[in-house]
Chains A and B, each alone.
Chain A
């Protein structure tokens, strides 16, 4: 279906990433947001609080991030599309409810505008050090979807995609911004509402007599049930069967947890978005994401000007990780170079996917700023055969 024209701010704007993310959420149909003030993410819900009363929806500022990350799930079961936004310390507090959303198959979006950590770290300065937390932060086995925008335009476009993926897979989606992307202002083109494709919630067509809350229709994603319509369903964070009833057996656990993982993994080829350029004949390929991908791009251009054969690969989807694409690159590249604003997180995934086919070089940065172009360039030059 298409976006609601009353809600979409069609036009050409000069917006920062935080505001663009908010507009993306509204365009995607988000009518409920919850937040707790935190730098550098809070501008997203500040804008939502200002915009939503004249769109038709609710913003609530909760008492903490624990509350924010669960009130939104109540709203989802009440029928809304909902999201919350935070940064590192708040993201840490939200971990339990990311697992709850995964387990109960509650479609929702968690935005993390990453700042330097650990702990309070650098509230106003960037990092990309929550990438593994986004994947593994909640306890237990589950699969996650995470997207990484590198511009305000992408904050708009990919937020819509995040909501759509959440609905399609009935899963929480992590929207992994960083402080630079969140606070950077650039041109953002918001298309007409009829140009914006929205994934509606998969409400069941079955009657209450033949409906199973966690029964699937072949694609491993159960249809959603509306609250207040007489279905009298039960949902729980306990291991449950197709009826949604607790079932404390290894068999039920195996069936449920494998399905939660498989519904996303099986679709990985379709939902791992990436940008690839000049990798065919490249000797060295730089792999990056978020704001670092722009600095890396600059390094690639400077390197090419010197005659070096450098390719670039940008992760737009961080999770599920594009294993196959990275393996393909590793098959012919002499080396893969991975700059990121952390001391080596996604580089481990690149190493795993490359499986020893070529060297993988980390270019770490502890955060608080971005790499100097030269730091990436010299790493590229150094590994040139």
Chain B
């Protein structure tokens, strides 16, 4: 795997950090890759916003921060607006479709949408939306081995909620596998480049 930069963002309570932790754990512990996860602290983390940066690579990761994500996962409108300008051209955008309305895109962005909250609610617990999102991420990006991610989900969740989260993971995964990307075209709206 080439060095892949991922940002996951939303608001507090959506399991943003946990999602990044699960993916990082899957990569580093079960797939022998290198993974570096950092959370956003400081002004970026205010107002209930939550954001995690995850870098995956086959070789040791040196620079600790995401500079231009290859993959951006957004679970809130604010996160989408805020981080979209960072996304690499031709990158992948994953959105919580009920919470985010895409109004601007970079060219060649491959967009995947999932009603993660709704799918979680169908399973009976809104708070497991992060496992749905992790499953969906795994399905659409094909970046990580699904068994590795499932094990990382199991590791990261207390026993009483483990089965439910694994179900949520599978549901998200299946949903992801059934999707094909929408490639962004002419609706690109120029946004100022923000340096990290």
Contact = CB atoms under 8 A, between A and B. Distances in A.
Contact of B35 (A124, A186, A301): A186
A123 B36 CA distance: 22
Interface stretch (B60-68, B86-94, B116-124, B186-194): B60-68
B64 A294 contact: yes
Q: Chain A, interface size: which category?
A: 20 to 34
A312 B42 CA distance: 32
Contacts of A310: none
Interface string A122-156: 11110000000000000000000000000000000
Contact of B64 (A13, A122, A180): A180
Majority SS at the chain A contact face: mixed
A180 B38 contact: yes
Given A14-B24, A125-B41, A125-B42, A184 B29 contact: no
Interface string B24-57: 1100110000111111011001000000000000
Most buried by B among A183, A185, A187: A185
B21 interface: yes
Majority SS at the chain B contact face: mixed
B41 A185 contact: no
A122 B42 contact: yes
A185 B64 CA distance: 10
B28 A183 contact: no
A39 B41 CA distance: 10
B63 A185 contact: no
A12 interface: yes
B42 A294 contact: no
Contacts of A40: 41
Contacts of B35: 14, 186-187
Contacts of A125: 41-42
Contacts of A124: 41-42, 45
A294 B62 contact: yes
Most buried by B among A13, A184, A369: A184
A370 B64 CA distance: 9
A208 B136 CA distance: 70
A308 B61 CA distance: 21
A185 B36 contact: yes
Interface string A273-315: 0000000000000000001001101100100000000000000
A92 interface: no
Given A40-B41, A294-B63, A184 B21 contact: no
Contact of B39 (A14, A183, A295, A301): A183
Given A180-B64, A295-B62, A298-B62, A187 B38 contact: no
A370 B65 CA distance: 9
A183 B36 CA distance: 10
27 contacts: A12-B29, A13-B29, A14-B25, A14-B28, A14-B35, A123-B42, A124-B45, A179-B41, A183-B41, A184-B38, A184-B64, A185-B24, A186-B28, A186-B34, A186-B35, A186-B36, A186-B61, A291-B64, A294-B61, A294-B64, A295-B62, A295-B63, A297-B62, A298-B63, A301-B62, A369-B65, A370-B65
Interface of B: 21, 24-25, 28-29, 34-39, 41-42, 45, 61-65
Interface of A: 12-14, 39-40, 122-125, 179-180, 183-187, 291, 294-295, 297-298, 301, 369-370, 373
